[in-house]
Amino acid sequence: MQLEQDMVKAILPDIAHFLPDQVKIRIGPDGILFFDRSTGVNVLIDEFCPSREFWHKAPRHVSIAITNACDLNCYHCFAPKYPAKLNVERLIAWLVELDANGCIGVGFGGGEPTLYRELSSVCRYVAKETKMAVTITTHGHRIEDRLAADLKGNVHFIRVSMDGIGATYEKIRKKSFSSFLRQLELIREIAPFGINYLVNHMTFPEIDDAIALATEIGATEFLLLPEQPTKRSNGIDNYTRQALSRWVELYDGPVPLTVSEAGSEGLPIVNPLPKETGLRAYAHIDASGILKRSSYDTYGVPIGAGGVMEALELLQSLTEDTK
């Protein structure tokens, strides 16, 4: 044990010193992870796993709803409808804390994050002052030339919501699909991007055409979002879920598939870090400053003066008590 401790203390700081600025080390139950935020490449050294005392305490990824505001009114949306947005100074303090405790990526969403006045300055801070990757999740329609210029170089990945194609998209989003495609031309100049695809009985029949379109426009990821129940929607039905599972099993398309954690049940997935689960893998902060296990959770722990890590410890203990 003492030899192991001495090795970790002696070797890792030296390794970190010689790594490029964009590469971050994360230690966890699966081993030592090297993450390059500029390329998205992850390298896991699992032959040697340091003991628990060396594991980083922050979740691997944290999604942050910086505002509840949105200019659309989609029936499937689970985001709270009351006005709320995060104070930028508090947000920066939490980001510093997450970075220091081993988080490798933060994702800004909402609501619609482009309605948050300080979005570009917050993204710039994370990109320049931390080693975490920055992603944003957006419907894309509000990104214009000035914002695109401000985000370029300060965002590592953009997730764009696309619910069906053509008339189906327009029925759900109440926005022009041709306008959406024009926006994607602008977005692809900012950073690599992926498609967030809502899956329900309306959109599933178009999933092959959506994949073809994603390939054509240069998306590097296709995130499946099986619809979750909301006050206005019952969520994905069992027939569509079963059909989606069969489709995933047979998929051999060119765009890599991923799936939301909340919608992954019943789908064939591969987890490269099987021991890093729950709050060790992911957490969500809503626009009221409440830390949750996921964005779909109805309860959580308010982040107080003790910061995000104190709230995480409390949420972890509450989660364990309910098991």
* Residues 45-61 pLDDT 10s: 888 778 888 899 999 99
CA atoms within 13 A on the CB side of 137: 21
* Region 206-220 average pLDDT: 96
* Region 120-124 average pLDDT: 98
* Region 313-320 average pLDDT: 87
Q: State whether 195 and 254 are in the same domain.
A: yes
* Region 106-110 average pLDDT: 96
Q: State whether 256 and 212 are in the same domain.
A: yes
- The string of pLDDT tens digits covering residues 231-240 is 888 899 999 9
**Please, what's the largest Cα pairwise distance for the chain?**
64
**Residue 196 pLDDT > 50:** yes
Q: State whether 134 and 203 are in the same domain.
A: yes
Please report, for residues 127, 201, 223, 262, 296, the alpha-carbon distance to residue 234 in angstroms, rounded to integers and kept in the order given.
Answer: 39, 11, 21, 15, 14
pLDDT reported for residue 319: 73
- The string of pLDDT tens digits covering residues 56-76 is 999 999 999 999 999 998 888
Q: State whether 101 and 10 are in the same domain.
A: no
* Region 10-36 average pLDDT: 77
Q: Does 231 reside within a domain?
A: yes
* Region 132-159 average pLDDT: 97
Count how many domains the chain has: 2
**Residue 19 pLDDT > 90:** no
Going by C-alpha positions, the residue among 203, 252, 263, 246 that lies closest to residue 75 is 203
Q: Does 237 reside within a domain?
A: yes
* Cα 21 from Cα 24, distance rounded (Å): 8
* Region 264-288 average pLDDT: 85
Place of tokens 């910061």: 307
**Residue 270 pLDDT > 70:** no
* Cα 318 from Cα 43, distance rounded (Å): 32
Q: Does 219 reside within a domain?
A: yes
On average, the pLDDT of the chain sits at 90
Q: State whether 85 and 157 are in the same domain.
A: yes
Q: State whether 112 and 20 are in the same domain.
A: no
Last residue of a domain, one of 11, 34, 54: 54
**Residue 302 pLDDT > 80:** yes
Q: State whether 87 and 16 are in the same domain.
A: no
pLDDT reported for residue 314: 96
**Residue 16 pLDDT > 60:** no
Q: State whether 198 and 91 are in the same domain.
A: yes
Q: State whether 288 and 216 are in the same domain.
A: yes
String of b and e for 282-299 (b: at least 16 CB within 10 Å)?
bbbbbbbbbbbbebeeee
Q: Does 307 reside within a domain?
A: yes
- Residue 2: pLDDT band with limits 50, 70, 90: very low
* Region 247-264 average pLDDT: 86
pLDDT reported for residue 322: 44
Tell me which of 101 and 12 has the higher pLDDT. Answer: 101
- Residue 94 sits in which domain range? 61-316
Q: Does 234 reside within a domain?
A: yes
Q: State whether 208 and 167 are in the same domain.
A: yes
Q: State whether 146 and 167 are in the same domain.
A: yes
316 close to 303: Cβ distance less than 8 angstroms: no
Q: Does 294 reside within a domain?
A: yes
Q: Does 323 reside within a domain?
A: no
Q: Does 321 reside within a domain?
A: no
